């Protein structure tokens, strides 16, 4: 049964139709790769699914509950509590240690410093980077920082993990490590995973590949 379902999403940026009647779904423990050339609408779709952008028409539902029409405060709460995010460059906060970065989602949802620190340390251990806890983002490699970003995305056990080009800035070896960590950890936690990518090797690891062009889905590979 699908966890996150979008139906007939439409969104314009000025005179440009970014999404043209896109319908999409992802189930718990399922990994869906969204592919397409630059400007095809894949990142716009991710942002609508995650409540960052609001579509002009269409619906997005999480666990059967409509979320696209929530006020900004409600969508922000969803992003804090039910969603996890991994971006191309990690986007860790430079002033915080790696451990503090990973603990941040828990602190934002009201966890005590002690509880958040324990969970964050467990997350770093799962991603095989426990020795980075006290380092700043500027003191670690790109691959290490991206694994820390994966730990941060998963630490509060989100229902859905969104990853926007998570391996795009990495070499092949580090890209594989990040992808393996993201998919394995998310599946262990039962999360649904949506990965926007232009890399065939990333799409090949997904259960389904959704291909976009000109704001529309033009093909689906895998489960139908």
- Among candidate residues 197, 216, 194, the one with its CA nearest the CA of residue 10: 216
- Among candidate residues 194, 126, 122, 129, the one with its CA nearest the CA of residue 158: 194
Q: Tell me: pLDDT of 52 over 90.
A: yes
Question: Which residues on adjacent β-strands are paired with residue 216?
Answer: 213
Q: Tell me: pLDDT of 126 over 90.
A: no
> Which residues are within 8 A (CB) of 203 and not within 5 positions of it... i.e. 6 or more apart?
33, 35, 195, 197, 209
Domain containing residue 9: CATH number: 3.40.50.300
C-alpha 142 chain-centroid distance: 18
Q: Tell me: pLDDT of 90 over 80.
A: no
Q: How many domains does the chain have?
A: 1
Share of the chain above pLDDT 70, in %: 99
Which burial class, exposed, middle or buried, applies to 198 when counting CB atoms under 10 A from its CB (0-12, 13-18, 19+)?
A: middle
- Averaged pLDDT of the chain: 92
Domain range enclosing 43: 4-222
- Identify which has the larger pLDDT, 185 or 219: 219
Residue 186 confidence class, pLDDT cut points 50, 70, 90: confident
pLDDT of residue 157: 92
The whole-angstrom separation of Cα 188 and Cα 39 is 33
The whole-angstrom separation of Cα 103 and Cα 155 is 7
Residue 223 confidence class, pLDDT cut points 50, 70, 90: low
Q: Tell me: pLDDT of 129 over 60.
A: yes
pLDDT of residue 180: 85
Q: Tell me: pLDDT of 62 over 90.
A: yes
Lowest mean pLDDT of 41-50, 84-93, 139-148, name the range: 84-93
Q: Tell me: pLDDT of 102 over 90.
A: yes
């Amino acid at each position: 049964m699908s966890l996150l379902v979008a139906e007939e999403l439409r969104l314009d940026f000025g005179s440009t139709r970014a999404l043209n009647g896109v319908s999409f779904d992802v189930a718990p423990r399922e990994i869906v790769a969204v592919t397409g050339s630059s400007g095809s609408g894949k990142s716009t779709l991710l942002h609508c699914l995650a409540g960052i952008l609001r579509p002009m028409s269409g619906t997005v539902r999480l666990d059967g509950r409509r979320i696209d029409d929530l006020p900004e405060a409600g969508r922000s709460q969803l992003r804090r509590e039910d969603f996890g995010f991994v971006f191309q460059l990690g986007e860790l906060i430079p002033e915080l240690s790696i451990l503090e970065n990973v603990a941040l989602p828990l602190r934002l949802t009201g966890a005590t410093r002690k509880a958040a620190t324990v969970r964050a340390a467990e997350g770093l251990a799962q991603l095989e980077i426990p020795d980075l806890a006290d380092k700043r983002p500027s003191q670690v490699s790109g691959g290490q920082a991206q694994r820390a970003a994966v730990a941060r995305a998963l630490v509060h056990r989100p229902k859905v993990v969104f990853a926007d080009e998570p391996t795009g800035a990495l070499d092949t070896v580090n890209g594989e490590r990040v992808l393996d960590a993201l998919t394995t950890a998310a599946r262990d936690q039962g999360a649904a995973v949506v990965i926007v990518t232009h890399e065939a090797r990333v799409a090949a690891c997904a259960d389904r590949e959704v291909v976009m062009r000109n704001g529309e889905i033009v093909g689906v590979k895998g489960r139908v």
